[in-house]
Structure 1
Amino acid sequence: MDELAGKALPLVPVPDLTLARTTLRTEFPYATDVIDRILVDLAPRKHVRVRPTILVGSPGSGKSRFARRLLNVLNVPHDVVPCDGISDGAFAGTARRWSTGEPSLPVALITRYRIAGPGAVLDEIEKVGTSRYNGQAHDALLAFLEQETACRFHDPYVQAPCDLSHVTWVMTANSLDGLSAPLRDRCKVISFPEPKGEHLPVLAHQIILDILAEQGLDRRWGSPLDEIELEAVTKAWPGGSLRRLRRMVEVTLGSRTIRH
């Protein structure tokens, strides 16, 4: 960390937004409005910094995967932080005089990826604890989401002001219940839709490719559902949770193995 002190770090250049839009719309055909609302802010920029955003949608709608793919497509190195169980203000770092001392989350990301504009996906942000013993996570985030305070955040571990203003924050939530008004005010809040039955062929094929990637298999093995398979899955999945759709696709792939 000390070797980065006083050094100018690179930023992520804005990629071809037409290509980024096409890629995301191909994978998330039901979320075209969400894609456009996010990418429009990047059009006048030279470097990527997505406005702090909260994607709000039902469980299984694909918002967490979308957040990850968004940053991947924009070439932004990032970490995914599950917020369920976080009960203090550790996001903001702790002083190095303590044995558990550690830098704030954005400083840790900048140090790890050696760039000034990494990203963080805070998954299910509404599930952080509400106790204010040792600080509260929502309160700790506020300083990172405002440009004025983020550009000179005093990290307690580094013991010096740090420019965190280029970090991208994307949050997901099943509901806005429990999110403070100051946190909501600092973010673009976007409703994330549920996929519909009409999107099944594209989504099922993407799920097949994901399963192959997880198993370390070549994507060329990922043939789409045939007419019979598609009809069977369509009857059981009219839309809704992608987790449920994935289970059906896994069963279908298993039946292919048995038939062959």
Structure 2
Amino acid sequence: MRTTSTTTTRTFPTGLTQALKERVLALTDVARPEGPAFLAAAAGTEVAKAVDFGALEKLCKPLIVPAALAIALRDGGLREGRLSPVDTALLAATGAAYTTGDVILMLGEGHAGRSSTRLVSGAAAFGVGHLALGGLMLRSGLRFKPLQVALHGVIAGSAGAVLLAEDRSNAPLAAYGGLLAALSALATSVDRRNGPAASVLAVAGPVFLLSDALILVRRKTEGGSVLARALDVGVIDTYATAALLLLTGTAAAARTAGRVS
């Protein structure tokens, strides 16, 4: 039993590394335009944030998640199995909710705004997406592991305490943080039973948490400064990465569950 456990521990990181490499390579496959489209949308948004070019951001940012969703829906092919209509609907609902959140934030001062009103509205949209995606993860066989729940509980509790200490009106943001932490706890509970391509979920959850943490830091940074623009780019980098890995990783887990059932 000890040998089996050690082998499992060693092979999961190896599989994760391979899955991440394959995901990066797939983005440059010109035979499938959604990969290059995702890269173009993310890069365009990064440039827009770096140089404060609002028109370019409005053109590119709303395309990030739809491109990632297209990749997730087209992944696999016949040998990997097809997504069921319910799986597809949950993925589409996630993509729609995330894109709505992007647009809500983008039409104001973005994630850098000092007012929490628009941030709460954006968080509500993302929350709907998290619930849909979490439902698909559970449907695909992922189950919470105690260690992941405990670690993410500490993270959510600490972040919530900071937000509430800053202002009691931040309670909705603290609640959103708890929901995101729960999604990350479930994503990082992925294991070999969910298929090798689903292993990217182990990275996706923490990267999304990092992206939202950068948003909180950015809100306290002086606008227009080098640090502020670097944080803006960092938020986009981590968000685009997390969205891509969450959607494709969950779709892969759903396909694996479909083959097994």
Larger fraction in helix:
2
Larger fraction in strand:
1
**Length-normalised TM-score, structure 2:** 0.28
**Length-normalised TM-score, structure 1:** 0.28
